[in-house]
Amino acid sequence: MIYNLKFKLSALKAWEELDGSVKSQFKKKLKERLKNPHIPSARLSSLPDCYKIKLRSVGYRLVYQVNDDTVVVTVIAVGQRDKNKVYKLANAILNSSDEEVGEN
């Protein structure tokens, strides 16, 4: 089963500001994750149903949430690896009313 992709509005804005090569790397990883989003080693224990994608070479992180009921993967936050900043941002977004937008 292939999951649909959505973005939180703030994550979409960050996505659009990414360098083309970084975006391309994330797209490749996201394509894989839409087929199999539950990667145990990428699970974030502090955020419900959330997982991470790390691009070590360029120092970026992407946090996404999986909803098996609606078969949707939602990108919550995207950002540079700066301690735990992207994970704190993801937590804040999950606790806000930031709306979801369709696949980009």
The helix (H) or strand (E) run that includes residue 4 is: strand 4-8
Q: Which of these is catalytic: 13, 81, 83, 88?
A: 81
Please count the residues of the chain: 104
DSSP, res 55: E
CB 6 within 8 A of CB 72: yes
Does residue 52 carry a catalytic annotation?
yes
Q: Which of these is catalytic: 6, 8, 33, 52?
A: 52
- Catalytic (active-site) positions: 52, 81
